[in-house]
Every structure is written in C-alpha cells, then in structure tokens.
A = this chain, B = another copy of it.
Amino acid sequence: MNFTVAQLNYHIGNFSGNKDLICKAIRKAKEAGSDLIIFSELCIPGYPPLDLLDRLDFIEKCEQTVQEIASECTGIAAIVGSPTLNKKPEGKKLFNSALLLSEGKVIFSVNKALLPTYDIFDEYRYFEPEKQFSVFLFKGLRLAITICEDLWDEQPFDNEFEKARLYTVSPMEELARQNPDIIINIAASPFSYTKIEAKKNIFISKALKYKIPVISVNQTGANTELIFEGASVLVNENGEIFNHLPFFEEAVETFSFDDIKSGTISGKDTRPDPISLIYKALVTGLHDYFTKTGLKTSIIGLSGGIDSAICLCLAVDALGNENVRALLMPSRYSSEHSVSDAIVLAKSLRVRYDIINIEKPFNAFEDDLANVFEGMSTDVTEENIQARVRAILLMAVSNKYGCIVLNTSNKSEAAVGYGTLYGDMAGGLSVIGDVYKTDVYRLADFINRDSQIIPENIIRKLPSAELRPDQFDTDSLPDYNILDSILYQYIELQKPASRIISEGGDKETVLKVIRMIDFNEYKRYQAPPVLRISSKAFGAGRRMPLVARY
C-alpha cells in the first residue's frame, strides 16, 4: 500500500488551474505505483475562499470540479478538500470536507469538526461542524481522515488568555475508538515563524498517543496575505519524523505504508533558521501575489534606508530584476548619502531606477496652501505632504506603466503609526508590514550572508524619515530593541500593559507605546494587505474597534 503526499500551490477560484495541478499529480502518483494520493484542505477552490463561499454558483463549480477529478481517479484513489452542501434543513449551508475519490465517484467523505474561528480564520462563518466520526477501510487499512484543526484540539496559543482546549470535542479521540491504522490530516495551515515546532509537535503527539503513523498534507504558496509553508510531515508510529516535504515548494512524493509506519529519520528533520524561513515566506508571498493576480512588474520608492532596501532585494528575488523598478525621490531634507546609497543598491541589483526631486510639487502645495495656513506654524502637516507627494509619483508611474507599488513600511512603524496615510503607507501589497524593525536588520544580515548586497552604509545609518532637518526615528520612538519587545508582548502575546510593566518594562515607555498603537488603529484600517509571517499580523487577523476608548 503506497501513499502519495501532494503539496501543491492552489489559486482561489481558479478551478481549471487547480484541477490541472491535481490531475498532473494524480498521473505522477500512478506512475509511482501509488494507491492513494492525498491533497490538502479546500484544494478544489483554493484557500481561503472567504465570502465566495456565499455564492451558490461557486459551490456548484466546486462540485463539478470534484466530479471531473474523480473521473481521473482510475486505478488510484485521491483525497481532495472541498466545500460540500449540508443537505440537512438546519445549520450552516456548507461543510468543509475531505472527499475520497475512486473510479469516478466520491466513495467516502469526512467533514471538519473543529472550525478555527480566531485570528485570520473565520470557518464557522461558512461551515457547519461535524459531530459524527468514522474511519474508512481502504485496501485493508483503516484510515482516520482528519481536516487540519481536527487534530489541533490541544493546540498551544501565543496568547496565554486563550484556552488550551478551545473545543469541546476531540475528533481523533472519537476516531481512535475505531482502531485506525493511520491518521491522515489534510491542512491549509499558514506560516508563522513562531509555530514551526509547535505544528510538528501536534503530529508527533498524536502519533505517540495513538501509536499509529501520521501523514499530514499542507499546501504551499500564498494567497494575498496568507503564505503556506508546505513542510508536510510524515511521523512514524513511534512519534519520530520519518520524512517531510520542503518548505515553500511544491512536491509530490510517494511512500509505502511500511516505511511511514516504522521508517526512521533520514537526516531530513532539519530545523531551518527562522530568518531564512521568513525570507522564503516573503519571496513566496510576493511571487504568488503577482502570478495569481496576473501582474508582472513592481515599483518601489527607494529612500536609501534599510526597509526599502530589503523590499527591493525581496522583490528582485521574487519577480526578477527586469520586473522591478525603483524611484528615488529626494527632497531638501534628504541627506546626500540617501541618494548615493540607493543608487549603489539599485545598480548592484541591476534594477532600473529614476530620480525625481519632490521640491516642485512640494513647493506648489506650500504656495497653494499659504492663504489657508496663514499664521499657522510648520508642523507634521508639511512632513505628510512630502510623503504624499512621493505616493502620487509612485502611483503615477504605477498607473502609467502598470507596475504595482510595493509598500515598504515595517511592523514596528505600522504599530505605532509612524507613517503617513496615503503617503509612505500606500501600495498594493505590504512586503514587510509583519516584520519588526529588529528582524528587518536580521533579514539584511541574511541577504548579505555570502556577499555584500545591501551596502553597509544602509545598514549602519541611524533610521530616519528625513522629513525635516536632522530627524531620527529615536526622536519620537524608543530604541527599536525596546520598542519591538513591547510591541511583541502587546500584539502577539496580548499582555495587558500592567503585566508588561511588572515584568520589567519601563512604565512611561510602555504606556506611551501602547497609546500610540491604540491611537493609530484608524491608519492601519486603510493600510494595504500585509504578508503575514507571525501569529498576529495587522490586517484581517486583528480586528479592533476604531472608536473604542480603551
């Protein structure tokens, strides 16, 4: 009995594309002598389909695609993930299902019981939870088929206030009573750099608890914010990693049941450095945003600072240097090295760059506003005008040449609102909006690991927005080491201020930072989608009321 793990990159709503991908893998598995090929959760529509699931025609397209794939399953069976209609008169209209296809038919189906509804997940918005569980006898093996969260009934959360047991049922506990021979878990589990080990441990703990092997199948690739790392894992009945598929790559691999059951580790349980994974995740996120929207080219405002430098390197890796252009937009406040450092970088990456000085439009705005602003002193208004003039220039080139503006704000800035709405906060996609500034430096070191790609000058200079003379980030913010530690505790771990302070944070600093975070919800509301690499990114996974007084 041979199993094939198909770790593929699906595209939401692209039924013909997903079908082609799946059928190609089925043919490959057949050639490898496989009995059962396993695809990931909701592979038919792509994940997450969000409110497309509210459309009957979308569901009918899923059903039709499943039928077409079933008819390809001759001499081999396949498990695919798809929404299916809940035929009962009561409850949500859909199930999140795993369908076992064989010889043109759906011969067995399982519905997801534990529906993640937290952070970026909204599954109870669409799906009715299953309450009945049964294993399926397939070629002499009793399969316990589970869908992602169904195995996560004891998952650890970053936020300690979350319950260790979020659900009142344990699907695997129910299935275990029917003496399964193997656990199959199909997932669409997005990347978070803090969860790599925790995810693996879930499969290990289930293998150990039930003394049977586990095959997990995750998808790879990205859909807007969500990046899936693949890294599908096979755990033997002793709870040891037998094998795992690569991070952020498609792979279709076939294994015998005997190997999965008791095979031992073959040097493949690598523990990659989180920064290298974050780098790969961001390149994947960028690459797939462009390929899946059918876009090709991008533009980045290159300031001479480290954030835009990192984004340029990532974009060149993801899209190719011929598809990335840079715009340098100096002002009266730009230091000389800003322009020269940016040029060195653009040249070394062989990226087309243009230089447009923002003085003329900036002066025109000052003239235009002189009457209305009479008697008022210069303040942040004028700084914002500069940032917004740059956004107009970037968007103009974007409109004229069809290239997408990549936003270069980091998570630390976004958190405290150190950015201008419709200015440096503009862009089609935020590349490093989930990367704290201290990790931006780590990414720079990673990019420079073999040779100096990012000039030392860019890395070493004091961070500055250069919107007024001698301005530095530290004028209005604490050191990034301190800032990022507070941000992580407040945003990812959701610790109350009092706790951050009692655990050593400086009271005045902590309260100031938290006030800035809370006050700037309105800015983030209008920010572009952010490539997510953490357990709590800004965007759909973090929903804050704008008018709250808290």
Contact = CB atoms under 8 A, between A and B. Distances in A.
B381 A393 contact: no
A453 to B, nearest CB: 26
Interface in A273-293: 288-289, 292-293
A528 interface: yes
Contacts of A540: 543
A530 to B, nearest CB: 11
Contact of A546 (B224, B361, B364, B522): B224
Interface of A: 11-14, 17, 46, 48-52, 54-58, 61, 86, 89-93, 117-118, 122, 124-125, 128, 159, 161-168, 223-224, 288-289, 292-294, 354, 356-358, 360-361, 363-365, 367-369, 371-373, 376, 379-381, 384-385, 388-389, 391-393, 395-397, 399-400, 421-422, 426, 428, 494, 496-498, 522, 525-529, 540, 542-550
21 contacts: A12-B549, A12-B550, A17-B549, A48-B545, A55-B161, A58-B550, A90-B167, A122-B543, A292-B549, A357-B368, A360-B367, A361-B365, A361-B368, A363-B364, A364-B364, A369-B393, A372-B400, A381-B399, A395-B422, A422-B426, A540-B543
A369 B527 CA distance: 26
Contact of A545 (B50, B161, B525): B50
Nearest to A17: B549
Contacts of A46: 545, 548
Contacts of A384: 395-396, 399
B367 A396 contact: no
A269 B523 CA distance: 43
A50 B119 CA distance: 11
A397 B372 contact: yes
Contact of A365 (B91, B117, B396): B396
B54 A159 contact: yes
A397 B388 CA distance: 14
B354 A547 contact: no
